[in-house]
Amino acid sequence: MKSLLAKNLEQTLIKRRDIERGVFLQRFFKTGPGEYGEGDLFLGLSVPSIRKDCIPYKALELNEIEKLLQSPWHEVRLAAVILLAEQAKKAKDEKTQKTLAAFYLRHADRINNWDLVDTSAVAVLGPMVEKFGYEYLRPLIRSKLLWKRRMAMISTLYLIKKGEADLALTVAEALIDDRHDLMQKAVGWMLREVGKHASMAKLNGFLEKHAATMPRTALRYALERHPAFAKKRFMKLKDGIDLNIYEQR
């Protein structure tokens, strides 16, 4: 690939800038002082349009993708992780998978919002999670960087969608007391997906153990697919009241 390819893609995106929508997105993604996306800049582009612009660059080399990740523009960094995810999905050999995952984690500080993580963590880290399990995720779970912790939780969806619940539940248990709202939502979301794709029984077992003490946000997310009587049961556990889960009220 020519060295100007990353620059060309960035210029393509910048030319389509929608200032009004960009202002809206900067509010939506919490870019104010002290917020999780502090200082991030938005072009105001839709995700489908960014994916379309990425198509000619699907084989972009990592040194060029690295340049995209250094952009101050959120959508340019989004293009970078879209390309990484697409390359990871097509990677057939373990060496390539390891290379992509290692590159991804080295630049985790530039994959610095929830949409960037959620777009890419499953595809890029999933094969490594499947091969190496919890030990691969342990450093991410313990990281001070919010985005690495979210990567750890979201990447378990790779196994959840294959019907495997155990690793996701182990990671959820390790992160269940994380105080950040974005982590509580990530934990609850992956728990919900366990119930949807893997095992509702294992999810309910997890909730029996943790509902009383886990953050309310995570619990509400985890219960989104439960019937009303089960939601009531687990929310009452949170409130310190025991109801029979099988008793529909």
The token duo for 172 is 């959820």
CA distance 83 to 81: 5
Cβ atoms 20, 44 nearer than 8 A: yes
Radius of gyration of the chain (CA): 20
**Distance in angstroms (rounded) separating the CA atoms of residues 237 and 47:** 40
C-alpha closest to that of 156 among 118, 108, 110, 205: 118
> How do the pLDDT tens digits run along the chain, 249 residues long?
445 599 999 999 999 999 999 999 999 999 999 999 999 999 999 999 999 999 999 999 999 999 999 999 999 999 999 999 999 999 989 999 999 999 999 999 999 999 999 999 999 999 999 999 999 999 999 999 999 999 999 999 999 999 999 999 999 999 999 999 999 999 999 999 999 999 999 999 999 999 999 999 999 999 999 999 999 999 998 877 555 544 444
212/227 Cα distance (integer angstroms): 19
Give residue 4's pLDDT. Answer: 58
Burial of 236 (0-12, 13-18, 19+ CB in 10 A): middle
The strand pairing partners of 73, in sequence order, are: 41
* Rounded distance between C-alpha atoms, residue 171 and residue 154, angstroms: 10
Q: For 166, how many CA atoms within 13 A lie in the half-sphere containing its CB? A: 3
What is the rounded distance in angstroms from the CA atom of residue 157 to the CA atom of residue 167?
Answer: 10
